[in-house]
Each structure stands twice: as C-alpha cells, then as structure tokens.
A and B are shown apart, each in its own frame.
Chain A
Amino acid sequence: MALIKLNTRSIPDDAVTPAKVSVKHLGRRNLLINGAMQIWQRGTSFTTSNTYTADRWLTDAAGACTRSTDTPAPFDYSIKLNPSSGNAVLRQAIELSAAGEGGIFQSGQQFTLSFWLKSSAGGEGINVFIASSTTVAGSTTQMVSAIGIATTTTGWVKYTYTFTQSVAVGSSDTCYNIVPYVVAPSGDIYITGLQFETGSVATDFEHRSYVEELASCSRYYQNSFIEGNTPGASTATGDAIHVLSWSDGNAQGIPFQVPMRTSPTMIFRPQASNTAGLVNSSGTDRSATATNVGTKQVGYIGVTSGTANTYVRFTWEANAEI
C-alpha cells in the first residue's frame, strides 16, 4: 500500500470538520473549577449553612455535606448533600476579568451546563439558576431563573441544560454564578462532573490534573495545612509555619502559594491550637493581625506584646472568594 505524505497545505480547508475531531482531546472547555470534586482544602465534612465545602463550591442549607466515593465512572469523588431543610444547592462564581466585563458571557452566546447526579429518592425536581452578580450568592442580572430541567432518579444520570444568554452582565457584576439544585430532597443527593461550556453540546467531562485544579482553587482559598488536615480541627505540628520575630515583637510575613484574586481575609491560629486570632510567640499565644496584606503576600504579622528576636509559629488560612 502506498503511503501518502500529508502536510498542512495538502489538507483541504473543509476536510477537517468538528465531527472528525475528538472533542475530548480539546482542553479548556470547562469554565468551572473543581467540577470533579477533587480538591477539599477546608475539610471533607460540613454541617453549617452558607459554607464553602469542596473548593469553589458553596452550599446553602444547613445539614450534612461530605465528600463521597459514590460516583459514576471515571470520577473519584462526588459531593453528598443532605440538607436538614430546604433545597440541596451548589453555587460556584466564575470570576469576570473586571466589573461589568462579560468576556465570553455576552448576550447571544449559547452555553451548556452538564453534571452527574444521583438521589436516594426519585422524583425530586432538579433546577438550574444562573445569574451574574457581585457575589456568589447574589443575582444582580438573572440569566436563567429556577428552570426545572429534570427529576431525580436513584441511579447516576448525566443531566444537561443549554441556554442562550439574553442580556449582558450588569455593569457592577464581577462574577457569573452557576447554581444547580434539587428542590427539597428527602434524602441524600450526590453530584459530580459539573461542566459549563460554550455551545449547545455537553461534551465529555474535561479531566484536569490534581495539581492544576489545586492551583486554580488556590486563587480563591489557600492555607498552610497538610493536605487532608482540616483547618480549625487539626493540631498537627506540620500544619504550621515558623517565622522570625523582629526587635519590636512583630513577625515577618508570608508569601502566598499562588497569587490570590484580591487581598484575602486571613485567619491565624497558634501551632497545635484551634483558637483563631492568635499566634504562638516564643511559647506564649498572642493576639495577631495580618498587616499590609496584598494578593501575593501578607506584609508582616502584627503581634500584640510579642517576644523580640525569636520564633513565631502559627497556621493560616487565606480567603479571597467572590
């Protein structure tokens, strides 16, 4: 059989069509971060309302929320929601480049949301809410308002929803909120594999590496804890950083692991302690403040009555969520 050598010029322009390209090999389709529930920097079990759980995902209602290994193939983790009352809600804010700058979020643009969902009961409404806003839970400009797309079943099903954006984002809006939810479930809800992409087709989920997702999540939240240890609960010595204090008792600052979205809210705790607002200065817990905080570092740690020229040890959390 004769071999034909192809080069770019010999391929007709109309020969390569979307149908001939395997979409699963095309990257950067998913506008959501941590859609496969890989990253859980804040812990893996929660009970309070309005809480970030898996990285970038906020839940509304109080009740049990945990990481689960009950998944459809090929996912490793799902999020399990069992609200004590109300809806089982997930929220993620997609950051806009600046207030009012929609980027690809323009009127006339078509988008498709897809996700896998399973319920311990069937027949519960699965809804979608999408809006641009100034915060993750706001709704300055509604794009999709409480559309029912399906009802739950007791097995894993991939759900999709396509819509065309009909209005521009608001002039003060800084994020585009994607909110799938199940209406007043009677039991457990499991969700994973969330993808939001341009166009009318729900393509195969775009799997990203753990390290890539962790870096993306860390723009919005990061901490000093050993991966798998829960801030506010772990007392492992390896969770803490040790820095030097100055002659005035204050201590040197800390660089962030990746630049953050904005200057973050900081939480300090002494090494091996879960009391917030303190650091350990030469063996004594002292009040502490994050001073001159930017997007790439904490300038320095203000320590009340800190001991001069010694060690200061503490854990930290940095929160720059939208």
Chain B
Amino acid sequence: MISYVIQNAKYYKDMDDVNSGIQATIDGISCSVPLDPANTHYAEILKQVADGTITIADAD
C-alpha cells in the first residue's frame, strides 16, 4: 500500500457554496483533490481521517 504524507487538508467550495474538493499538500506538493471515492488520493484522505491521522478543515 502506498503511504501518502497528507498535510493541511481543507475543503473548498464552488460558486454555489457547496464543497467541491479538498486542497491538501500530498507528499510535499499542493494538490486539488475532488470528492470522488474512486480518486485514490480522496480515498486515502478518508482513510487517514478514519484512522485519526489527519483532519480536514472546513472551507472558508
């Protein structure tokens, strides 16, 4: 299993004020991660949240 280092995870919203993705630093690179369960990074973020390793900050 690939072990990603995920930091600074925070939701962001679209123009309809709905959460659209998570901005996070993954292995040192700032990324936009869509809220799609088939997306490998999103699945890993959910896993690390469930494990208590990280939390996701609310959108501004």
Contacts and interface: CB of A to CB of B under 8 A. Distances in A.
Interface of A: 48, 50, 58, 134-138, 174, 232, 248, 250, 261-268, 276-278, 288-293, 299-300, 302, 319-322
Contact of A266 (B1, B2, B31, B40): B31
Given A138-B1, A293-B21, A263 B39 contact: yes
The 8 closest A-B pairs by CB, nearest first: A277-B30, A290-B32, A263-B34, A262-B38, A263-B36, A276-B30, A293-B34, A266-B32
The binding surface of chain A is classed by DSSP as loop
B48 interface: no
A267 B12 contact: no
Nearest to A138: B1
26 contacts: A50-B3, A58-B2, A135-B1, A135-B43, A136-B2, A137-B2, A174-B38, A232-B29, A261-B38, A262-B38, A264-B34, A264-B39, A265-B32, A265-B34, A267-B32, A276-B31, A277-B23, A277-B25, A289-B32, A290-B32, A291-B12, A291-B14, A291-B20, A291-B32, A299-B14, A320-B39
A321 B1 contact: no
A29 B33 CA distance: 35
Contacts of A232: 29
A267 B31 contact: yes
Contacts of B25: 277
A45 B29 CA distance: 18
A135 B44 CA distance: 10
B2 A268 contact: no
Nearest to B60: A304
Contact of A289 (B21, B41, B42): B21
A176 to B, nearest CB: 16
A138 B36 CA distance: 19
Contact of B21 (A134, A135, A291): A291
A321 B33 CA distance: 13
Given A263-B34, A293-B20, A302-B20, 13 more contacts: A58-B2, A135-B1, A263-B39, A264-B39, A265-B33, A265-B39, A276-B30, A277-B25, A289-B23, A289-B32, A291-B14, A319-B41, A322-B40
Contacts of A262: 36, 38-39
Contacts of B39: 262-265, 320
Nearest to A277: B30
Contacts of B12: 289, 291, 302
Interface string B1-21: 111000000001011000011
A256 to B, nearest CB: 13
B10 to A, nearest CB: 10
B16 to A, nearest CB: 9
Contacts of B31: 265-267, 276-277
Contacts of A320: 39
B2 A290 contact: no
A277 B17 CA distance: 21
Contacts of B29: 232, 267, 276
